[in-house]
Amino acid sequence: MLVRVELSEEDLKLGLRRVYAQLGRKSLLIIYMIAVAIGIAVDKPLLALLQKQAFYKSMPAGMQEFVAIALFVAIVLLVFRFLLRYSPQRQYYRPEGILRSSREIRIDRDGVHQDGKHSTSLTRWGGIMKIQEDKDFILFYVDPAAAYIIPKHFFASPEDAAAFAAQARDFWNAAKQAETVTGSNDSAAGAA
Identify the CA nearest to 152 among candidates 135, 168, 130, 128: 135
Q: Give the tens place of pLDDT for each residue, 64-95.
A: 889 889 999 999 889 888 877 766 554 445 66
Fold for the domain defined by 2-11+97-183: PH-domain like (2.30.29)
Q: Is residue 4 a contact partner of residue 104, using CB atoms and an 8 Å limit?
A: yes
Hey, is 133 helix, strand or coil? strand
Number of Cβ within a 10 Å radius of residue 102: 12
Delimit the domains of the chain by residue range: 2-11+97-183, 23-92
Residue 137: what residue type? F
- Compute the residue count for the chain: 192
**pLDDT top residue among 81 and 121:** 121
Q: Specify the pTM.
A: 0.59
Highest mean pLDDT among 8-12, 25-29, 70-74, 163-167: 163-167
Decide if pLDDT at 9 tops 90: no
